[in-house]
Structure 1
Amino acid sequence: MARIKLEMPEHFIFSTVLPIRISDINYGGHLGNDAVLSMIHEARVRFLNNYHYTEQNVDGRGLIMTDSAIVYRSEGFYGDLIQIDVAVGDFNKYGCDIFYLLSNKKTAEELAIAKTGVVFFDYEARKVVPMPDGFRASMQKDT
């Protein structure tokens, strides 16, 4: 079976820290895959907030996720603090990819790498719309 390979950017423009909660632990006793997706969602919301955006309002447009991929590297356990570094790349007319590097803050061990593809969306018209110029400029200025 072919493995997913993610090419991660060299430069990250935002970082946040989240604890692994007891509800993030699966029956194997470690961080569950569903919790990782939830953690990168929280990191994405914090990242957008840092630029004064929300998922519903990026210069008047919303975001919608088109895909996601996660590659696991090591285990995380209850109480670990996870540093999530965020980068943006692969820009196109309608969206981009958001990349995430999850590391144990204490040991610096890499837990996972991930990416989510997003496009800009007009929720009233229910259609994909072009990326706002201001968002592209802000992201490309920092990368």
Structure 2
Amino acid sequence: MPRLKLTLPEGSDFETQLNVRVTDLNYGNHLANQALLGMLHEARVRFLAYLNYTELGNATTPGIILADVEIQFRHEAFLADQLNIALRVDQLNRVGFDLYYRVSNVTDQTEIALAKTSIVFFDYHTTHKRASMPASFEQAINAIRETNEKIRKQQP
């Protein structure tokens, strides 16, 4: 059976940390697959907030809707592990983008999972249909990347 192989783009646009909670564990006493999907959702919401966006949008700005998800599990994570989730936007297009996630253990840098979600802009307020990507979204991504590049150049 062929296995899923995700190739993530270089770099990250945003990083956040989450702890594995007891409610995130499965019968094997490690991070459950549905709990990881929930953590990716939490990381995505934090990223959108960082960009001053929300999943639901508002009367003038579309929200987003998840079109699909791919997850490649690499290692187990356990109760109280602190996970770093690095996100990277790629494949921007007229109505959406792909969002890549690299999940790793903060303590030992073990890669826990790789993931990709395909995101579509969606008008929740009037048409209830997909919508065009707002120019301000692409501008916000470019601004983050410019800032990150300046920081990298200042590091020894």
SS of 2:26's partner is: coil
The corresponding residue for 1:81 is 82
**1:63-105: CA deviation from partner (whole Å, max 9, x where unpaired):** 0000000001100000000000111001111000111110000
- Equivalent residues in 2 for 1:1-143, closer than 5 Å: 1-57=1-57, 60-123=61-124, 124-143=126-145
Structure 1 residues 33-52: Cα deviation after superposition (integer angstroms, max 9, x where no partner):
00110000000000111111
Overall identity of the aligned pairs, in %: 43
Give the whole-Å Cα distance in 1 for the aligned partners of 2:54 and 2:130. Answer: 17
- TM-score, with length taken from structure 1: 0.95
- When Rg is computed on C-alpha atoms for both structures, the one with the higher figure is 2
CA distance in 1 between partners of 2:51 and 2:18 (Å): 19
CA distance in structure 2 between the aligned counterparts of 1:137 and 1:52, rounded to whole angstroms: 12
Q: Any unmatched runs of 5+ in structure 1?
A: none
Gap change, CA 1:109 and 1:89, over 3 Å in 2:
same
RMSD of aligned Cα (Å) = 1.2
CA contact (8 A) 2:75 2:112 kept: yes
4+ residue stretches of structure 1 with deviation over 4 A? Answer: none
SS at match of 1:142: helix
Judging by fraction of residues, say which structure has more strand: 1
1:5, distance to aligned residue in structure 2 (A): 1.6
1:142 Cα deviation after fit: 3.1
Q: Could you say if the C-alpha distance between residues 4 and 140 of structure 1 is closer, same or farther in structure 2, counting changes exceeding 3 Å?
A: farther
C-alpha separation in 2, matches of 1:110 and 1:30? 15
Higher percent of residues as helix = 2
Residue identity matched to 1:85: A
The total of aligned residue pairs comes to 143
Letter in 2 for 1:19: N
SS at match of 2:16: strand
Give the secondary structure class of the aligned counterpart of 1:125. coil
Give the Cα–Cα distance (whole angstroms) in 2 for the partners of residues 83 and 6 of structure 1.
18
Moved more, 112-121 or 59-68: 59-68
